[in-house]
Amino acid sequence: MKLLDIVPVTAQGLISEDMERYINKYLSADTVMDITQITKGTPSIESEFDEAMCAPDIIDHCIRAEKEGYEGVFINCFGDPGVRAARERVDIPVFGGFEPVMHLALGTADQIGIVTVLPNVLPMIRGEIAKARLEGRVACVRSVGIPVLDLSDHDKLCGALLDESIKAIKEDGAQTIVLGCTAMVDVAETVEAGLHEAGYEIPVLEAARSAVMLLELNVKMGLKQSRITYMPVPEK
Amino acid sequence: MKLLDIVPVTAQGLISEDMERYINKYLSADTVMDITQITKGTPSIESEFDEAMCAPDIIDHCIRAEKEGYEGVFINCFGDPGVRAARERVDIPVFGGFEPVMHLALGTADQIGIVTVLPNVLPMIRGEIAKARLEGRVACVRSVGIPVLDLSDHDKLCGALLDESIKAIKEDGAQTIVLGCTAMVDVAETVEAGLHEAGYEIPVLEAARSAVMLLELNVKMGLKQSRITYMPVPEK
Amino acid sequence: MKLLDIVPVTAQGLISEDMERYINKYLSADTVMDITQITKGTPSIESEFDEAMCAPDIIDHCIRAEKEGYEGVFINCFGDPGVRAARERVDIPVFGGFEPVMHLALGTADQIGIVTVLPNVLPMIRGEIAKARLEGRVACVRSVGIPVLDLSDHDKLCGALLDESIKAIKEDGAQTIVLGCTAMVDVAETVEAGLHEAGYEIPVLEAARSAVMLLELNVKMGLKQSRITYMPVPEK
Amino acid sequence: MKLLDIVPVTAQGLISEDMERYINKYLSADTVMDITQITKGTPSIESEFDEAMCAPDIIDHCIRAEKEGYEGVFINCFGDPGVRAARERVDIPVFGGFEPVMHLALGTADQIGIVTVLPNVLPMIRGEIAKARLEGRVACVRSVGIPVLDLSDHDKLCGALLDESIKAIKEDGAQTIVLGCTAMVDVAETVEAGLHEAGYEIPVLEAARSAVMLLELNVKMGLKQSRITYMPVPEK
Amino acid sequence: MKLLDIVPVTAQGLISEDMERYINKYLSADTVMDITQITKGTPSIESEFDEAMCAPDIIDHCIRAEKEGYEGVFINCFGDPGVRAARERVDIPVFGGFEPVMHLALGTADQIGIVTVLPNVLPMIRGEIAKARLEGRVACVRSVGIPVLDLSDHDKLCGALLDESIKAIKEDGAQTIVLGCTAMVDVAETVEAGLHEAGYEIPVLEAARSAVMLLELNVKMGLKQSRITYMPVPEK
Amino acid sequence: MKLLDIVPVTAQGLISEDMERYINKYLSADTVMDITQITKGTPSIESEFDEAMCAPDIIDHCIRAEKEGYEGVFINCFGDPGVRAARERVDIPVFGGFEPVMHLALGTADQIGIVTVLPNVLPMIRGEIAKARLEGRVACVRSVGIPVLDLSDHDKLCGALLDESIKAIKEDGAQTIVLGCTAMVDVAETVEAGLHEAGYEIPVLEAARSAVMLLELNVKMGLKQSRITYMPVPEK
């Protein structure tokens, strides 16, 4: 199976080889996940503005991906930028970072706590949750106050994620933790272990890993977007 | 007061002088509403794809509008394309076609029926309603099955709008009608009269007219977007 | 345009000339807003009981207003006393203080925080919000613990409003502030400035000013109540 | 136990001796239910206007009832007119027709269908349901199109109730029927039998009977209104 | 009237004669409430597991009760174990501890606070509330951290209940308190008095007492479960 | 990987070798899915009663499965019988038929239509949806009126499923179809093809296939139930 991971921002060096290896390690032996990156847009997505500016090139990459024979596309961002638009244009499954990790989290607990990067994206994520009519399953959306491009300091990141996760549990009633940025990679085990030490045995889910796994599953099962939800774009 | 009406699609001849006159007739004598149009995007907005492709140029026009001294911007489309992103970038009020007409309709009845152009945009509009947490006030979203670029046949349009409005009332419990496309201009009175003849005394609200009126009111009152909902875009 | 502001309580001296001037200053030059007051009822409205006792005379004043040629009526109380009943009886727009300011606030932010007078009215206001199916957009309803008839001490009022507004933002996630009593007049700028100093750039909306502005706009646009929501009262 | 049934309208002859006997037959032997009637208001309650006009005298009767030693009050109308206001003023339980029958119906089925008198009161009843946050349990609110003062023709009434009940079941998914007017008395058995013949074994609940039964139970158990929901009216 | 109280757990000595006397004291003189206990299951119900293991014998007891002429059954547990299943199998009213006390509490206040035994049952109770679509009326579910089998220390229990009730009021906005375990018997008055001393005049409702009272009322009124909600079990 | 498929009913011959092969065909080569069946319970699950009677033996099988080294358990029924209870008792993932297929369906469309066997289980399934707070994503739950033990007539089944699916789309707004019984196996392609012929390009999801796929994925990713949602059962 041939999948494509589209990095939907223009900053360089975001996806290291280590991260790639980490994300892919659960995929089947015969699944190939290529990586590409958009060239028109903003360096990172941390606002509605960033999302809007990156969307056209993301969608173009999705259309090209289908033509090049990819069987599924992962738009590597928790905000699901361009996902709905791309689904209208291609016949292969398209997932961003938000939907898949949320759907997996639903299977682990009643109440989900999301911990993301900056306060700037909180209204956007809460809007996604409302649009997905999942407000009844989300205990809170919190942020660690670290910009996407500073996430590489894993110790600082894990410390902040642990702090916010514990607040999510104690103050908001979260029962499972979703890391609300696909660039938070290779940190779930550390946060989960920290929660374990603090007395909480609950899952911590990474968005990117969840997305590629669920994308692969959708391709395996031949699942596609509904053409009533995502009607083909009318000719003009 | 200086306002700007941004036509967020590339098709020519959409806004006739008649339509312009009609929309502006309720504005105060000292309000000037200029019109501009984007040049990069799709001819009309009838899908999530169209919306995503047009958004960057719409946002650019909003940023430019503020620099040129406009005090408020109307993005002339019911889907509110680029509205949230533009609000992050400018300090003047920005409205699309969805929010203002819905907020006015809330003041006229308990249950709103929306009648729009094509079935393609129904999921998008329902998503907007869910994101606005207004599902409890919307009886239905229906479409007349006429593309945006064919709306100029007023007789056909009014007939179809009347038919769907009556179904919205009888089958779905609508109590006020919102015309769900800003290009449906100068038809509300005709539909309202048709409903009157059919025995229903209820308002029919046009999106564009509602938007410019509410935009003017927001500017008069000095209302601006909350900077907690619309945080300034972070420097990178 | 001729509008009527009905003071729906019997206490004297509530609306000073200053307040009147302040509320009216954004209205169009050719709009006249007269003021009248009920004579049967309670001195102020701070309970469901007060509201019920004042409603009949309020409604009578609305009916009379229409006969005397007024084109719109503002019932000057945040609880919207008699609003729905009056709409059944007259053909001109009728607004209280709750609906218009809420509808304007919806255009400024995702989550509204309301700050009102006494804890006694909290269940009543929360009931209004539930009836309006706007619970998804309201972060909190808080009270300053000052009775309506003591609101004239502006310093004390503004201090208390600022304190509760900051709690609404920090503890409850409010993103815009609505002052939940139409007698809180000429204080929004002060509270907004205080929030600005505290680091929060968000709007503070006054109910009375919002109501007269939106009432004028409804009259201009010829909007009227839906006769399906507000059926004429049956003859007996 | 001494209870008072307040007829909250001014029309004469509404409560016949038969009806009285019928309603009281399930009360305990030592419960006395007196009847009184307001004198200021409208002949029947079929609109928000009627409700507002009758409320003050209803509340006065509640206050007097407590002073005269009554231990509980039933305001004999499905719209619960004056109920919340009266609860603020007295320390004895006060029930209208809406709450008790709804709470009993919740114990019999998942989805309630309400059948009331005129379309005029549908928005009012739907508002009550929304305010009670019970929309998730109500399948529909329907009307038979018969004014309150014409309900005495039992055959016509029962036929219409049966028709609307069957539609409520088949078209709207109702699983239990609530008769949405306290003047629909002594008809539940007939409608229930009609539904049985049509193949539906579901309860039909009368509002007045349910209210007096639940009122008696509340008095027996010493239950009173919460003074946080219904704070005492402040002195002015 | 002959009712049956089924103790749905296997631990001995749970229902003392005092408790029995206390629960029955409000029932009519001619109502007999017998007690029986299941023999297959777990000693107490403090988890979904306990509930599932006890349910079959509970249901058997309900079926037997109907055959033995009982007119109504109370399954003595707040989790309503087996209630829906039993209603499918018998024609007499069946109540557990959850539904009746919630329905009575709805009549006393807008927002209910529930205080139960252990954190283990919080998700189960919140699930019940969601299934009953009553989330809009529940302010919180809290636990005192005392296992069912240790509830006999009334002083400790009442102290813990008072503490959690005050937190429910102050932190969560509860306006009436429901004791969320049917084994919390003869403590409501003490907690209510404690709240009174703390300045809160609100009801405290016991689940078992509420259930037997409402069961008796349902039998008196001839109310039965809807056969659309609870269809008879198909023959195989 | 070693998984266990627990047939949670006592009827023989339900899972043919063909069905087994069909369900397993998408699993990884190194995944072994054994099948076992309970011996105490009812022949099929078509009511709350059936579910309650089968649950204890289902849970026992789950506990035993973990001891025997199975890494995940599938309880082969759409009603998720015993799922929550089993999760409290074991540390391996446990899925029934409802949750996984719903979570996959969420990724394909906005509005899900469920088509199940008998009307008897409609309230149970709707209760599951409410408990999962997914009502905002479910367009309808319909039944074909065929008992579980008669599902082997594939032609009749597929015809009925197609009819109800088309009604779900046209009358209720369904955009993706979930087959609401795990015994509906090897029919999705036929129904999907039928919908295609009728002009609807939407997915049809089988519950059993979805469940084993998602179970395998959860085991691969090391996901486990949250111990806050599913606390270990307290010792007594």
* Alpha-carbon distances, residue D135 vs A130, D7, D100, D128, D210 (angstroms): 19, 28, 16, 10, 20
**Chain-chain contact of D137 with E137 (C-beta, under 8 angstroms):** no
Residue C110: its chain A contacts at CB < 8 A? 123, 126-127
Of A154-168, E3-17, F16-30, the least confident: F16-30
Q: What confidence tier does C176 reach under pLDDT thresholds 50, 70, 90? A: very high
Rounded mean pLDDT, B160-181: 98
Subunits touching D (CB < 8 Å, at least 3 pairs)? B, C, E, F
With beta carbons under 8 A apart, name residues in chain D contacting C120: 231, 233-234
In chain A the first and final C-alpha atoms are separated, in Å, by: 35
pTM (whole model) above 0.90: yes
**Amino acid letter, E160:** A
- Model pLDDT, residue F67: 98
Of D99, D106, D226, the CB nearest to E175: D226
Q: CA nearest F236 in E: which residue?
A: E43
Residue-wise DSSP of chain C: -EEEEEE-S--TT-S-HHHHHHHHTTS-TT-EEEEEE-SSS-SS--SHHHHHHHHHHHHHHHHHHHHTT-SEEEE--TT-TTHHHHHHH-SS-EE-SHHHHHHHHHTT-SSEEEEES-GGGHHHHHHHHHHTT-GGGEEEEEE----GGGTT-HHHHHHHHHHHHHHHHHHH--SEEEE--TT--S-HHHHHHHHHHTT----EEEHHHHHHHHHHHHHHHT----TTTSPPPPP-
Asked if the Cβ–Cβ distance from E136 to C127 is below 8 Å, we say no
Nearest to B11 by CA among B31, B37, B29: B37
CA distance A19 to A188: 13
Task: State the pLDDT at residue D17.
Answer: 79
Chain B nearest CA to F75, separation (Å): 34
Residues 76-95 of E with CB under 8 A from C: none
Give the sign of the dihedral formed by CA E185, CA E189, CA E195, CA E201: positive
B131 contacts on F by Cβ (under 8 Å): none
Q: What residues form DSSP beta bridges with D204? A: D177
- pLDDT, average across residues F97-116: 98
Give the chain D residue whose CA is nearest to the CA of E196: D227
Answer whether residue A207 shows pLDDT above 80: yes
Structure tokens at F157: 């089944």
Helix (H, G, I), strand (E, B) or coil at A223: coil
Q: Write the pLDDT tens digit of every residue in B3-23.
A: 999 999 999 887 777 777 887
Q: Which of F84, F118, F124 sits opposite E234 (nearest CB)?
A: F118
Round to whole Å and give the CA distance between F54 and B70: 70
Separation between Cα atoms, residue E63 and residue E188, nearest integer Å: 32
Q: Which residues of E touch A176 (CB under 8 A)?
A: none
pLDDT band at C21 (very low <50, low <70, confident <90, very high): confident
Confidence of residue C236 (pLDDT cuts 50, 70, 90): confident
Burial letters C36-75, b for 16+ CB under 10 A, else e: bbbeebbebbbbbbbbbbbbbbbbbbbeebbeeebbbbbb
Judge: C136–A130 Cβ closer than 8 Å, yes or no: yes
The yes-or-no verdict on residue A235 having pLDDT over 90 is no
Mean pLDDT, residues B51-71 taken together: 98
Which residues of chain D neighbour C85 with C-beta distances below 8 Å?
47-49, 51-53
The predicted structure's pLDDT at residue D68: 98
pLDDT at E13: 79
Backbone angles phi, psi at E15, to 5 degrees: -105, 100
For residue D72, report the phi and psi dihedrals to the nearest 5 degrees: -165, 150
Comparing alpha-carbon positions, the chain C residue that sits nearest to B175 is C228
Residue E18, pLDDT score: 78
Which chains reach chain C with 3 or more Cβ–Cβ distances below 8 angstroms? A, B, D, E
> Which residues on adjacent β-strands are paired with residue A35?
A5
Please list the ranges in chain D whose pLDDT falls under 50: none
Contact E234 F47 (CB under 8 A): yes
What's the whole-number mean pLDDT along residues E171-178? 98
In our burial notation (b when 16+ CB lie closer than 10 A, e otherwise), range B157-175 reads bbebbbebbbebbeeebbb
Query: How sure is the predictor about F109, in pLDDT bands with cuts at 50, 70 and 90?
Result: very high
Q: What is the pLDDT of residue E25?
A: 83
What pLDDT sits at residue A189? Answer: 95
- Taking only the tens place, the pLDDT of each residue in E60-94 is 999 999 999 999 999 999 999 999 999 999 999 99
Confidence of residue B175 (pLDDT cuts 50, 70, 90): very high
Residue B28 has pLDDT above 80, yes or no: yes
Q: Is the pLDDT of residue C51 over 90?
A: yes
CA closest to D171 among chain F residues: F171
Contact E48 F133 (CB under 8 A): no
Nearest CA in chain A to C110: A123
* Contact between A127 and C110 using a beta-carbon 8 Å cutoff: yes
Say if B and E touch: at least 3 Cβ pairs within 8 Å. Answer: no
* Angle, alpha carbons A168-A171-A173 (nearest 5°): 65
CA pair distance F10, F38, nearest whole angstrom: 6
By C-alpha distance, the chain C residue nearest B232 is C201
Question: For chain D, what is the total number of helices (H) and then of strands (E)?
Answer: 8, 8
Token code pair at residue F208: 């059993």
Crossing angle of the two packed helices B154-172 and B188-197, in degrees rounded to 10: 50
State the pLDDT at residue D21.
82
Burial class (CB in 10 A: 0-12, 13-18, 19+), F12: exposed
What was the pLDDT predicted at A230? 98
Closest by CA position to F26, among listed A32, A3, A222, A212: A222
- Quote the DSSP letter at residue E107: T
Widest Cα–Cα separation across chain A: 60
**Cα radius of gyration rounded to whole Å, chain D:** 17
What number is the average pLDDT over the span F200-212?
97
Q: Does E119 touch chain A (CB under 8 A)?
A: no
F74 pLDDT band, cuts 50/70/90, is: very high
Whether residue A82 contacts residue A6, with contact meaning beta carbons closer than 8 Å, is answered with: no
| CB atoms D120 and C46 under 8 Å | no
pLDDT in tens, A71-125: 999 999 999 999 999 999 999 999 999 999 999 999 999 999 999 999 999 999 9
Q: How confident is the model at residue C96 (pLDDT cuts 50, 70, 90)?
A: very high
- How confident is the model over A27-40, as a mean pLDDT? 94
CA nearest to E109 within chain C: C123
Query: What confidence score (pLDDT) does residue E135 get?
Result: 98
CA distance C93 to C90: 8
The pair phi, psi for residue F89, each rounded to 5°, is -95, -20
Tokens of C146: 């000052």
| Nearest Cα to Cα of residue F74 among F31, F16, F30, F17 | F31
CB A75 within 8 A of CB A8: yes
Question: Is D119 part of the contact surface with chain B (CB cutoff 8 Å)?
Answer: no
F176 touching E (Cβ < 8 Å): no
Residue E9 has pLDDT above 80, yes or no: yes
Pairwise CB contact (< 8 Å): E49 & F59: yes
> CB distance E136–C126 less than 8 Å?
no
Give the model's confidence band at A25: pLDDT under 50 very low, under 70 low, under 90 confident, else very high: confident
Task: Please write the tens of the pLDDT for every residue from C187-211.
Answer: 999 999 999 999 999 999 999 999 9
Give residue C15's pLDDT: 74
Cβ–Cβ < 8 Å for E26, F214: no
E51-66 per-position pLDDT tens digit = 999 999 999 999 999 9
Residues E184-217: tens digit of each pLDDT: 988 999 999 999 999 999 999 999 999 999 999 9
For A136, nearest residue in chain F (alpha carbons): F133
Range in C36-50, E143-157, F71-85 with the lowest mean pLDDT: E143-157
Partner E, chain F 5-34, Cβ-Cβ below 8 Å: 11
Extract the runs of DSSP E, i.e. beta strands, from chain D. 2-7, 32-37, 72-75, 94-95, 112-116, 138-143, 176-179, 204-206
Three-class SS state of F136: helix
Above 80 in pLDDT, residue A19?
Answer: no
Size of interface B-D (CB pairs under 8 A): 6
Q: Does C159 touch chain D (CB under 8 A)?
A: no
Strand (E) or helix (H) holding E191 = helix E188-197
Query: Residues B178, B104: contact at Cβ < 8 Å?
Result: no
